[in-house]
Structure 1
Amino acid sequence: MTAPTHTDPHAGLDRAGRQPGGPGSAAPPNRAAWILVMNREIVVRALNKTFLIGLVVSVAIIAALAAFMAWQGSKTESFAVVVTGGDTTATAAVEAGEAIAVAQDTNAELTVLDVADADAARTALTDGDAEAWLHPADDPADGWVLTGQSDPDSTLTRLLTAGLQQEVLESNAAAAGTSVAELTAGSALTTDRVDGSAVDSQTLFFASFALALLFFIGALGSGQMIAGSVVEEKQSRLVEIMATAVPLRHLLAGKILGSSIVALAQNVVFAVVGLVALSFTPTAAILPSLSSSLVWFVLFFAVGFMGMAALYAVAGALASRTEDLQHTTTPMTMAIMGIYFLTFSASGTFATVLSYVPVANIVSMPVRVLSGDALWWEPVVSLLVLVAFTLVAVLVSERAYRGALLQTGGRIGWKRAFAAAS
């Protein structure tokens, strides 16, 4: 008779008491595992309807804003200016203002409306036939008056002021037996900047706002999708199956790289659409400088977002249900919103400091490059600082991710995640 066989209940278990290949155990080494995960993330995001709809809507908004700016820049404003009784000085002033408008390419058109007297001039203003009435003041020493139904348009006022000054100067010069050229000799004024930049403050603010918005959309939108993807896989227990075939650090690396590629591609699409659209607007002259700044922004975003993606993946791993995400992602959301508001409104020394602070330097340093305020080596140093931040963020996140991903039963804290990974 064969003796009964006694099976050791602990046979085949690892040191932690887990079946090899079971959930939470170290999967066999697979150098290509992270590539598979990365490809899966890219495909899933590329086929996600919410992502695609958001991308199309954002591109449409950018194109619409640029089209509006182009329309505003090309729109011609017509101003009819009333003069009374064939006043030759007023008529000449309006014509001079029109010539100045053409020379300055202000898209303003001035025409003369000659009426009989003051009552007819007021009637023309009331009926909307004219925008303003140019006439002498009651006291000749007070010069001229520009009357409107309400406050006269600022562009019209500026042009008529310059035209009137030119006409009066010519009259006074003729009366004095000289010429305007002799009186104004040596008075030409040109502008220059020490930094050599051709970007004015208004355009710089617009550019910084646009870069901050690109950062906000890319970081927040893609980050939330990473966290959501992690918690969905965790809640459905799919991650326990994946963990038997893919090492957790490979799973994290694939998610970081896949999501970063998609987020970067999204921002590149936005940037290209924006540049093409701006080429049809009055700001087309700054495109070379803006293009250089955008190259730095894309490079900074590519590096910095990998660190943010790792932190968002941990935020998803710390949650056990989708409802927990609002709590676990709040610190990242608040940080991104703070960077968004600070970077496009910062100036002076504060802006310089921000250009070296991860992750704010993703926006602040390209803006300084655009303004001409940064020396050639400053973006390089700032990028190295961002690389160091990203490496630390990924290393710290990798440990917390491994410790939290397979734990369930409510929200998990960072301390508990670190303890589980040790």
Structure 2
Amino acid sequence: MNDIWRIVAAREIAVKLRDRNFVVSTVVTLVVIIASLLLTGFLSSRPDKIEVAIAGPDTSVVLETANTLASDAGTDTSFTARSVVDRAAVEQLVREEAVDVGLVPAESSGWQLIGKTAEDDGATTYITAAAQQLALQRNAAAAGVSLEELARGSTVNYTLLEQGAIDPGLGKSISFVFAFLFYMASVMFGMSIAQSVVEEKQNRIVEILASAIPLRQLLIGKVVGNAALAFAQLAVFVGAGLIGLAVTGRGAQLGQIAGAAGWFIVFFLVGFLALASLWAVAGALATRSEDLQSTSTPLGLLIMIVLFAGIFLTGTARLIGSYIPIMSIVAMPARLADGTAAWWEPFIALALMAIATYGIVVIAERIYRRSLMQTQARLTMRQALALED
């Protein structure tokens, strides 16, 4: 009798795997993850070829030096010169967007970059550096000193206080991905549980089930079955993302990201046991499918709060959120991803999550048993708790 929940769980898994919408949505999401990573990798690896209209003496030398500096910096930026007769011709090509930028001598001294509506960062960085280097060489020769002597004391070294920390932009993206996956899995599998419960209740199938198996076993089977599917789906999505990062050449910090992703799956699995129980309660409190909008509203708000917290919380707020059960599903792995959490912190947060999950499951199971057989009208949690077993 104690193993009946396994049969229920197996049935939940089998029904879900035969659901065409579930299979199609899983495949589509997987394709989107892989395609987005490949597209991002392709765009980032494309060479940045900047065509420059030039006029005046020594402009070609500036572009040659800019190409050398860009190459020495390990970038894919390159400059192609298009010589014209004067500044007016340069401006005309820029207006017609026949070139990306123009370069002419300034009226007083130095050089003038010409753009149409916005500055080109690549041109600004490397052409400016090239012009400064050539000017230093000329000035050093005029002063009778070497370029090395003229530049003495100008070296700047960069020291990172947190070696191996992920770029803030990448860390923010990972936090968004964790929050999105949490929201998608919580709603998809949670609503599936609630609809399954209310359909069995509405069709009075639950009365047959209740005469054959304990309601506690029925609840455990539904929760475990959907939790197993959610775990497997998340593992596939996360695995595809990690493989994509490695294939597209962004695997320098893959170990840290993979560790955070692993913790995310573990946190989600523990937290989803609580969420799944609450979704089952939402279905048990309803008497028909139309009631789910009302009975599941508080749970939907909780999931939305966690979603927005994962995306927008920063600093001390995210530190606190990483220890709050359910919210820690997203906040703690995000902190691990960007290197702001110590190794021991997820263990404490996970223990707090496990304690909260146990308490939620115990209360949810009591409400579920007391409200599942009530078919007269929609119940509130308070009304369900007031009923006798």
Q: TM class by shorter-chain length?
A: over 0.9
What pairs with 1:99-118 in structure 2 (closer than 5 Å)? 99-118=68-87
Equivalent position of 1:147 in the other structure: 114
Please, what is the CA RMSD of the aligned residues?
Answer: 1.6
Equivalent position of 1:66 in the other structure: 37
2:3 aligned partner, one-letter code: A
Say whether residues 1:357 and 2:312 are aligned partners: no
Q: 1:419 is matched with which residue: 371, 386, 389?
A: 386
Say whether residues 1:178 and 2:145 are aligned partners: yes
Q: What CA distance in whole angstroms lies between the structure 1 residues aligned with 2:90 and 2:359?
A: 74
Q: What CA distance in whole angstroms lies between the structure 1 residues aligned with 2:25 and 2:383?
A: 36
State the shift of 1:197 in Å: 3.2
Q: Which SS does the other structure have where 2:113 is aligned?
A: strand
Q: Which SS does the other structure have where 2:52 is aligned?
A: strand
Say whether residues 1:126 and 2:92 are aligned partners: no
Q: Which SS does the other structure have where 2:253 is aligned?
A: helix
- Return 253-262 or 364-373, whichever deviates more: 364-373
Equivalent position of 2:48 in the other structure: 77
Cα deviation code 1:83-107 (max 9, x no counterpart): 214x22x222222222222233432
Structure 2 gaps of 5+ residues are none
Q: Do the aligned partners of 1:73 and 1:281 also contact (CA within 8 Å) in 2? A: no
TM-score by structure 1 length? 0.88
Q: Do the aligned partners of 1:83 and 1:135 also contact (CA within 8 Å) in 2? A: yes
Q: Which SS does the other structure have where 2:155 is aligned?
A: coil
Structure 1 residues 212 and 192, CA gap change in structure 2 (3 angstroms): farther
Equivalent position of 1:36 in the other structure: 7
2:118 aligned partner, one-letter code: D
2:33 aligned partner, one-letter code: I
What pairs with 1:18-417 in structure 2 (closer than 5 Å)? 30-85=1-56, 87-88=57-58, 90-140=59-109, 143-281=110-248, 283-417=250-384
Q: What CA distance in whole angstroms lies between the structure 1 residues aligned with 2:293 and 2:277?
A: 17
Q: Do the aligned partners of 1:209 and 1:344 also contact (CA within 8 Å) in 2? A: yes
Structure 1 residues 239 and 186, CA gap change in structure 2 (3 angstroms): farther
2:37 aligned partner, one-letter code: A
Q: Do the aligned partners of 1:97 and 1:162 also contact (CA within 8 Å) in 2? A: yes
Q: Which SS does the other structure have where 1:283 is aligned?
A: coil
Please identify the structure whose Cα radius of gyration is greater: 1
Q: Do the aligned partners of 1:73 and 1:282 also contact (CA within 8 Å) in 2? A: no
Structure 1 residues 103 and 238, CA gap change in structure 2 (3 angstroms): farther
1:191 aligned partner, one-letter code: Y
Q: Do the aligned partners of 2:87 and 2:104 also contact (CA within 8 Å) in 1? A: no
Q: Do the aligned partners of 1:93 and 1:166 also contact (CA within 8 Å) in 2? A: no
- Return 366-375 or 252-261, whichever deviates more: 366-375
Q: Do the aligned partners of 1:196 and 1:372 also contact (CA within 8 Å) in 2? A: no
Structure 1 residues 104 and 216, CA gap change in structure 2 (3 angstroms): farther
TM-score by structure 2 length? 0.96
Q: What CA distance in whole angstroms lies between the structure 1 residues aligned with 2:55 and 2:305?
A: 58
Q: What CA distance in whole angstroms lies between the structure 2 residues aligned with 1:254 and 1:310?
A: 11
Q: What CA distance in whole angstroms lies between the structure 2 residues aligned with 1:419 and 1:152?
A: 69
Q: Do the aligned partners of 2:12 and 2:226 also contact (CA within 8 Å) in 1? A: yes
Q: What CA distance in whole angstroms lies between the structure 2 residues aligned with 1:205 and 1:282?
A: 19
The aligned length equals: 389
Q: Do the aligned partners of 1:76 and 1:108 also contact (CA within 8 Å) in 2? A: yes
Q: Which SS does the other structure have where 2:325 is aligned?
A: coil
1:369 aligned partner, one-letter code: L
Q: Do the aligned partners of 2:309 and 2:331 also contact (CA within 8 Å) in 1? A: no
Q: Percent identity?
A: 37
Q: Which SS does the other structure have where 1:116 is aligned?
A: coil
Structure 1 gaps of 5+ residues are 1-29
